[in-house]
Amino acid sequence: MRMKASSLLQIQQIMIENGKAGKFSMWTIYDHPLDYPDSYVARLFEITGNGETQITENIIITPDLDLLRHIMIDDLHLTVMDRFPTDDLKIIEVWL
């Protein structure tokens, strides 16, 4: 597993700071995207109070989808949402 952030603790802190700043954190899990064709990738998006969505540099990369789901549930305490039919086909699910 690789992370752009240095640790899960740092990711948790980023999410806490987002909440304090009025931003909502959302993780999107991708199935072998073009930039990481051998892995599943979770990317952190920030949603501002006015609804603007911004991608961040925070990503988690792993060949194991179950590991990503474990991190989302047990480490980040998030809830899964299924993808929308209009989402990019590489999107597996979104975590809030």
pLDDT of 22 above 70: yes
pLDDT tens digits for 41-89? 999 999 988 889 999 989 999 999 999 999 999 999 999 998 899 999 9
More confident residue, 66 or 7: 66
**49-60 residue pLDDT tens:** 888 999 998 999
- Cα–Cα distance between 61 and 42 in angstroms, integer? 7
Rounded mean pLDDT, 13-35: 94
- Residue-wise DSSP of 31-59: ES-TTSTTSEEEEEEEE-TTS-EEEEEEE
pLDDT of residue 9: 87
β 91-95/40-47 pair status: unpaired
